[in-house]
């Protein structure tokens, strides 16, 4: 049994999820009486989901990805009446299967990561609110979210207009109003305090509020600095607002930006990188199980001589959970947020310029890789 990337991984995960769920139902026979076949199927699906996180954590040699997921799961499942003992039992059943199965070079790592996940179940998992009056624009962020949650789109727009007119920077409105309220929306959804529909509504209003703001700032003396950014979300990644914010921040600083949004096809991305002569490609992933796709994409970009020299900046939730993850997927840089991304991009561009000066007259073999710098 291996949780390493390869053609057989999805089948391995499905097979293991079935075996673990069957064993779970054997250990607790009342589960079938209480939840029936539908409950069994759901449990198997959830187990497969957990195994995808485990597999990504193993492949990336990043225990914190799995440990963070277990904390998230614990808080999520508490809302459904499941306890830490339920999660621990499932993880122990997975551990038993891994220990009893065929061994390969990833087995010890898998066991170690599972044991860390099991230990995590015993710790508190409550995430505090992302909004507080003593944070920058704290009171306004609470007001903004209140407007969203009461269905008052016009009120939310009016508040944003007021902030813009009184001179708050767009970057601050993005970070302290939009990003903070989106994180809080996620926490409220996870703890079942709001519905999926509420989350969709809040997200939709925030997206339109960003668009309204764009028309205000784009008109105000926008100067080009001739640098080109292409940005995209990899694989089936649907979370695109963070990358859009980042792209806007680059545009505010004069970058020529090309934002492709969610779930971008690799060939289309490649075409655009070449057509726009991108200096930097910004790649975003929120769901941990998309990180290996990002790694594969980076390998492919490097392997093609037409895109081998483009600088690659990465970010999103898994990279914030494990701030050294970017070094293991072959990227040139990472930043935790939109403002940090701009500084990181400037560092990457300076690095490339100085390497070019140094290599003048020599064959161009560099690709801007200064991992860990
Ligand atoms: C809105 C939302 C959605 C929307 C997204 C719509 C859209 N158009 O983007 C929809 C409904 C599609 C969605 C779906 C899902 N979601 Co969702 N979603 C959210 C939510 C509430 C807000 C996301 C957001 O807008 N954040 C605000 C932006 C500004 O922040 P950000 O993404 O972190 O971006 C910043 C930094 O990370 C960084 N950054 C981001 N990208 C990059 C790239 C580079 C290059 C750099 C340098 C930096 C960088 O800079 C950004 C700006 O500062 C989050 C909560 C959260 N904490 O984010 C959950 C959340 C991410 N979702 C979650 C989940 C579970 C899901 C689903 C699995 C739910 C389901 N059962 O279907 C699916 C998965 C879909 C998929 N395959 O991608 C979980 C993930 C938990 C985990 N452990 O992984 C979260 C955390 C909610 C929660 N608290 O439980 N979701």
pLDDT in tens, 234-281: 989 999 999 999 999 999 999 999 999 999 999 999 999 999 999 999
**What band does 82 get if pLDDT is binned at 50, 70 and 90?**
confident
Q: What is the domain partition of the chain in residue ranges?
A: 9-120, 138-218, 228-358
User: What separation in Å is there between the alpha carbon of 157 and the centre of ligand 1?
Assistant: 22
- The pLDDT, as a whole number, for residue 80 is 86
- The pLDDT, as a whole number, for residue 217 is 83
- The pLDDT, as a whole number, for residue 370 is 39
- The pLDDT, as a whole number, for residue 360 is 83
- The pLDDT, as a whole number, for residue 366 is 44
Q: Among the atoms of ligand 1, which is closest to the Cα of residue 318?
A: 84
Among 49, 70, 186, name the best residue to mutate to test ligand 1's pocket (greatest count of ligand atoms within 8 A of Cβ).
Answer: 186
Contact status, residue 51 vs residue 16, Cβ threshold 8 Å: yes
pLDDT in tens, 149-184: 999 999 999 999 999 999 999 999 999 999 999 999
- The pLDDT, as a whole number, for residue 11 is 78
Among candidate residues 200, 278, 276, 292, the one with its CA nearest the CA of residue 238? 200
- CA–CA distance, 240 with 93 (Å, rounded to integer): 36
- CA–CA distance, 361 with 349 (Å, rounded to integer): 20
Mean pLDDT across 332-348: 97
Among 46, 286, 314, 347, name the best residue to mutate to test ligand 1's pocket (greatest count of ligand atoms within 8 A of Cβ).
Answer: 286
Task: Confirm whether 138-218 and 228-358 share one CATH topology.
Answer: no
| Helix, strand, or coil (residue 132) | coil
- CA–CA distance, 141 with 133 (Å, rounded to integer): 8
**What band does 371 get if pLDDT is binned at 50, 70 and 90?**
very low
Give the percent of the chain with pLDDT over 70. Answer: 94
What 8-state DSSP symbol labels residue 279? S
- CA–CA distance, 164 with 16 (Å, rounded to integer): 53
Strand partners, 230: 258, 281
| Helix, strand, or coil (residue 283) | strand
Report the nearest-CA residue for atom 71 of ligand 1: 196
Helix (H) or strand (E) holding 231: strand 228-233
What CATH topology corresponds to 138-218?
1.10.1240
Is the predicted pLDDT of residue 364 greater than 50, yes or no? no
- The pLDDT, as a whole number, for residue 8 is 63
Is the predicted pLDDT of residue 123 greater than 60, yes or no? yes
Is the predicted pLDDT of residue 6 greater than 60, yes or no? yes
Average predicted confidence (pLDDT) for the chain? 93
SS3 for 56-74, per residue?
A: HHHHCCCHHHHHHHHHHHH
pLDDT in tens, 85-102: 999 999 999 999 999 998
User: Using CB atoms within 10 A of its CB, is residue 302 exposed (0-12), middle (13-18) or buried (19+)?
Assistant: middle
- The pLDDT, as a whole number, for residue 368 is 41
pLDDT in tens, 30-72: 889 988 999 999 999 999 999 999 999 999 999 999 999 999 9
User: What separation in Å is there between the alpha carbon of 289 and the centre of ligand 1?
Assistant: 13
- CA–CA distance, 352 with 332 (Å, rounded to integer): 10
The CATH class of the 228-358 domain is alpha beta
Give the percent of the chain with pLDDT over 90. Answer: 83
Q: Is the CB of 341 under 6 A from ligand 1?
A: yes
Q: Is the CB of 281 under 6 A from ligand 1?
A: no
């Amino acid at each position: 049994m291996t949780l390493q990337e390869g053609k057989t991984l999805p089948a391995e995960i499905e097979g293991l999820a079935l075996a673990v769920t069957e064993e779970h139902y054997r250990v607790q026979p009342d589960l079938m009486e209480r939840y029936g076949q539908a409950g069994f199927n759901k449990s198997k699906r959830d187990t497969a989901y957990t195994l995808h996180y485990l597999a990504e954590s193993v492949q990336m040699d990043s225990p914190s990805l799995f440990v963070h997921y277990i904390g998230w799961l614990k808080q999520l499942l508490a809302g459904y009446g499941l306890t830490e003992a339920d999660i621990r039992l499932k993880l122990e059943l997975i551990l038993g299967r891994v220990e009893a199965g065929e061994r390969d070079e990833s087995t010890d790592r898998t066991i170690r990561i599972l044991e860390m996940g099991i230990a995590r179940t015993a710790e508190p998992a409550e995430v505090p609110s992302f909004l507080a009056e003593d944070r920058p624009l704290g009171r306004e962020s609470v007001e903004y979210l209140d407007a969203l949650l009461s269905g008052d789109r016009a009120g939310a727009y009016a508040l944003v207009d007021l902030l813009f007119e009184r001179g708050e920077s767009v970057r601050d409105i993005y970070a302290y109003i939009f990003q903070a309220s989106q994180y809080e929306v996620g926490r409220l959804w996870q703890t079942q305090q709001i519905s999926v529909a509420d989350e969709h509504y809040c997200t939709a209003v925030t997206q339109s509020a960003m668009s309204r703001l764009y028309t205000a700032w784009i008109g105000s003396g926008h100067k080009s600095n001739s640098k080109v950014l292409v940005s995209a979300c990899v694989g089936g990644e649907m979370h695109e607002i963070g990358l859009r914010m980042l792209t806007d921040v680059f545009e505010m600083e004069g970058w020529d930006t090309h934002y492709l949004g969610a779930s971008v096809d690799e060939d289309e991305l490649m075409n655009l990188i070449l057509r726009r002569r991108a200096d930097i490609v910004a790649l975003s992933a929120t769901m941990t199980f998309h990180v290996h796709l990002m790694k594969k994409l980076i390998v492919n970009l490097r392997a093609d001589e037409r895109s081998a020299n483009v600088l690659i900046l990465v970010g999103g939730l898994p990279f914030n959970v494990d701030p050294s993850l970017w070094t293991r997927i072959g990227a040139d840089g990472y930043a935790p947020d939109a403002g940090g991304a701009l500084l990181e991009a400037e560092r990457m561009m300076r690095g490339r310029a100085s390497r070019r000066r140094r290599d003048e007259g020599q064959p161009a073999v560099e690709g801007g890789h200064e991992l860990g710098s």
